[in-house]
Amino acid sequence: MKEYLLLIRTEGDPWDVLSPDQQQKHVEKAATYIGNLVKDGKLKGAQPLEPEGKIISNTKGTWKDGPFNESKEVIAGYFIVLANDLEEAMNIARANPIYEDQLKVRIEVRPIKTVEGINR
């Protein structure tokens, strides 16, 4: 099995578009989704991310920090999952209930490269 990073990208704060009742229902669906990944031995980690943060860049020795993000899209959370291949990882991402509750959401699925000697 290989590790994959699933980056959840939304426009703005994903909770802003949901009523309190919709938020509660989403939390329940997400708990079931996460519980099934754990039960199947597919989940290594997952967390939502706070909306604030900084991007740090360096151009020719000059450091800058700022939001620099030119769109409204933010990374709202992540999952690290185990899958046999990219297609299985994509299917795990497709099953995320956020697609049911958010109009504008994308999940980027990336294989995690294993480098000997780093965190192993």
**Which tokens is 110 given?**
């990336």
**Which tokens is 28 given?**
């329940």
Report helix, strand or coil for 47.
strand
Tell whether domain 2-111 is in CATH 3.40.47.10.
no
How confident is the model over 53-87, as pLDDT tens digits?
Answer: 777 777 777 777 665 555 677 888 999 999 999 99
Rounded to the nearest integer, the mean pLDDT of the chain is 87
How confident is the model over 82-112, as pLDDT tens digits?
Answer: 999 999 999 999 999 988 877 688 999 999 9
**Which tokens is 98 given?**
């956020």
**Which tokens is 91 given?**
């299917």
Report whether 12 contacts 104 (CB < 8 A).
no
Residue type, 53: G
- Distance CA(99)–CA(105), nearest Å, equals 7
